[in-house]
Amino acid sequence: MEEKTFQCPYCGVGCGLYIDDRGRIKGDFQHPANLGDLCKKPIYLPKVLDEGRLGKPLYRESKDRPFSEVSWEEAFTILKSKLTELSPKETYFYISGQLLTEDSYVINKFVKGLLGVNNIDANSRLCMASAVSAYKYAFGSDGVPCTYEDIDDADAFIFVGSNAAVSHPVLFKRVLRRRRKTDQMVVITIDPLETETARKSDLHIQIRAGTDTVLLNSVLYVLHREGWLDFRFIDTYTEGFDEALRVAQDFPPETAAQICQIKEEDIYILAKIFAQSRKLISFWCQGLNQSVNAVSKNLALINLHLATGRLNAKGCPFSLTGQPNAMGGREVGYLSNGLPGYRDVRNAEDRRFMEHFWNVDRIEPRPGRTITEAIDAILSGDVRLLWVVCTNPAVSLPELDKVKKALSKVFLVVQDAYWNDTCRFANLILPASQVGEKEGVMTGSDRTLTLCRAFKEPYGDSKPDWLIFAQLAQSMGRGDMFPYEESRDVFDEFKLTTEGRLCDISKLSYEELPARWGKRWLYEELKFPTQSSRARFYPAKFTVASERGRFILITGRLKNNWHTMTRTGKSPELLKREIPPYVIMNPKDALELGIGERDLVKLSSDRGSVERVVVFGNIKRGHVFAPFGYPYELAEPINLLISDRYDPISKEPDLKFAGVDVIKLKGAEEIGKGDL
């Protein structure tokens, strides 16, 4: 069985899976992340592995021409000549938390080491960047402080801005299993929408979108007022409490309840749980991360854990990772400011280490542009080549009208396993091998590394992502920097960069995986990798964007599909009840506008408009919810409506807050019965 084990290519829970002799996907009972469990999505993987794949490199110099097949050699010649013609500053690389660690490491080395620029970012900018900034501020590193095992003896769980029942199902099932074992347990969900997670919770706090910082500050206010703070913990292990409290003093419950449009009593309940539960885990995800106020939201939550000493045996602030290897990408330092081994380009010692390790003259000391900044730089003519690997920006980036203009203008290289919507804008398409066709490592949410083994031949002429970059370097005469024969060679090089670092995996080899880095409790001794060795409180100020329109549009996920659906969208079993593309409205809001369930409506913001079918749900008045990710073939993407403004610290876009108006286009009877 071992030859066929791999990590699920979908969410960050990082379940261990295997493919049995009859080609069916099963959960791996030996794997600590899932103990044999799995959800529905990977079950349908085998059927779609070869559907709609890219099998040959394709090229066209001009975007109004059809593509022709070219050989890999020709593709490398084209790339070499573009990279020689342009200065490295005019190139930009946009990669993904779904790549293997080996892939991200080699691409990062190619850009930051060989080309000598930090013009690289990952789709984690749209995903985990805020959590990374917050964790680093509070604890000095962005490793998750606890592990999944901590679920099994906790008695209080908060899901804030997380629909884990849908987005991290195996983890959520573990929480529900814990609930079945004890009646002394409470689950609370904080979300403007009554999600599946909210429905399965004991309390749903239906917050106004964007206002979490106010609610969480107010909880700190109550903890202080009631004398529920753990001053021994605060004095011994933290700094910055007074300033954080000063900000929280602006939000007594009566004020906060008004801003957040919730009951005062709920703020008190949250405070009580922080003060009185035995062990409390608060999980959060994109409801906190994708906001102009995201880093404050994250840190206002972490403040509560610090104020009540809720770490290790007493609890954990647990950031749920979205993509299967966003954690590995963080270890490799694949954002525009990162370097391998949890290093940063702004740190001179970190640069010196990597310059020596890679044997290069100079690593740029300034972080490169983020992806949204790179889109602007394409439009202004500063960036002229964009190379996209394992992500689908034509659907998933905000302010899509602008993105489409940029994609049409730039020399675009798309390296993907499947034909996706970004390919329509490409000049050069490179076919990548995917899960099951290549070998390498991924790290899940709780720091567990899994070896993904190959179990089939690569499709067509596709190649592993790391190999494409290594071979290009070779054809540029720099094979010396990339002397790898197989993925294991890449891993063995990368792991040396982690020696003595927090994420030390230098002693691990493929044979020993799955294995976790760090202790079960990363900060077991309550010494933190900050300058003072103390954890830091943050004065979490509140801001919110001003948007026009009657409703706040929030966006999120579908239960059985994965983002832009290049794989899951090919399974009718998974699409059932998820098409036609819909928007959730509160029935009272809809009635006021003469809109009935299943009517076709137009949603429009200052940036664009799209059509959707209405589904009624328990969503806060004044809000509508639409899943993002539908490919163009199914619908105009919702991201046409969304602004690319971002949090000032993490530069993560405000993907869950757009002002929109809704008007009825057609009645349900006119559009007929769909699948919903």
Ligand X SMILES: Nc1nc2c(c(=O)[nH]1)N[C@H]1C(S)=C(S)[C@@H](COP(=O)(O)OP(=O)(O)OC[C@H]3O[C@@H](n4cnc5c(=O)[nH]c(N)nc54)[C@H](O)[C@@H]3O)O[C@H]1N2
The CA distance from 531 to 539, in Å, is 18
Q: How many CA atoms lie within 13 A of 245 on its CB side?
A: 13
Beta bridge partners of 122: 95
Considering CB under 5 A, how many residues would be counted as binding Mo ion?
2
- For helices 465-475 and 101-108, angle between their N-to-C axes, nearest 10 degrees: 30
Of residues 517, 520, 507, 439, the one with CA closest to residue 7: 439
The CA distance from 301 to 214, in Å, is 11
Which C-beta is closer to ligand SF4: that of 358 or that of 562? 562
Q: How far is the CB of 130 from ligand X (least distance, A)?
A: 11
Q: Which does 620 bind (CB under 5 to 8 A by kind): Mo ion, ligand SF4, ligand X, none?
A: none
Q: Which does 467 bind (CB under 5 to 8 A by kind): ligand X, Mo ion, ligand SF4, none?
A: none
Q: Is 434 a residue that touches ligand X (CB under 6 A)?
A: yes
- Amino acid type, 31: H
Beta bridge partners of 413: 387, 428
CB of 268 closer than 8 Å to CB of 633: no
Subset of residues 318 to 337 that bind Mo ion, contact rule: CB under 5 A: 322
Measured in residues, the chain has a length of 676
Q: Is 397 a residue that touches Mo ion (CB under 5 A)?
A: no
Map residue 111 onto helix, strand or coil. Answer: helix
Among the candidate windows 84-92, 311-319, 474-482, 561-569, which touches ligand X by CB under 6 A? 561-569
Beta bridge partners of 536: 239
Q: Is 98 a residue that touches ligand X (CB under 6 A)?
A: yes
Of residues 118, 121, 123, 119, the one with CA closest to residue 96: 123
Strands 280-284 and 582-585: unpaired
- The residue whose two tokens read 């070998």 is 439
The CA distance from 269 to 505, in Å, is 41
CB of 31 closer than 8 Å to CB of 15: yes
The CA distance from 19 to 28, in Å, is 9
Residue ranges that bind ligand SF4, judged by CB under 6 A: 8, 10-11, 13-15, 34, 38-39, 41-42, 168-170
Six-digit token string for 573: 């079993």
Cis status, amide bond into 514, omega within 30 of 0: yes
> Which residue from 101, 167, 498, 586 is in contact with ligand X, where contact means CB under 6 A?
167
Among the candidate windows 204-212, 219-227, 509-517, 600-608, which touches ligand X by CB under 6 A? 204-212
Q: Is 131 a residue that touches Mo ion (CB under 5 A)?
A: no
The CA distance from 407 to 423, in Å, is 10
- x-marked contacts with ligand X along 255-294 as a string, rule CB under 6 A: ------------------------------xxx--x----
Which C-beta is closer to ligand SF4: that of 25 or that of 198? 25
Q: Which does 275 bind (CB under 5 to 8 A by kind): Mo ion, ligand X, ligand SF4, none?
A: none
Q: Is 163 a residue that touches ligand X (CB under 6 A)?
A: yes
Q: Is 127 a residue that touches Mo ion (CB under 5 A)?
A: yes
Which C-beta is closer to ligand X: that of 275 or that of 442? 442
Of residues 575, 562, 571, the one with CA closest to residue 628: 562
Q: Which does 161 bind (CB under 5 to 8 A by kind): ligand X, ligand SF4, Mo ion, none?
A: ligand X
> Which residue from 308, 337, 555, 605 is in contact with ligand X, where contact means CB under 6 A?
555
Q: Which does 195 bind (CB under 5 to 8 A by kind): Mo ion, ligand SF4, ligand X, none?
A: ligand X
Q: Is 322 a residue that touches ligand X (CB under 6 A)?
A: yes
Q: Which does 8 bind (CB under 5 to 8 A by kind): Mo ion, ligand X, ligand SF4, none?
A: ligand SF4
Q: How far is the CB of 8 from ligand SF4 (least distance, A)?
A: 3
Six-digit token string for 662: 């809704």
Q: Is 650 a residue that touches ligand X (CB under 6 A)?
A: no
In the complex, the residues that contact ligand X under the rule CB under 6 A are 11, 96, 98, 123, 126-127, 160-164, 166-167, 190-193, 195, 207, 209-210, 212, 285-287, 290, 322-323, 389-392, 395-396, 415-418, 420, 432, 434, 465, 554-559, 561-564, 566, 625, 628, 638-639, 642, 655-656
In the complex, the residues that contact Mo ion under the rule CB under 5 A are 127, 322
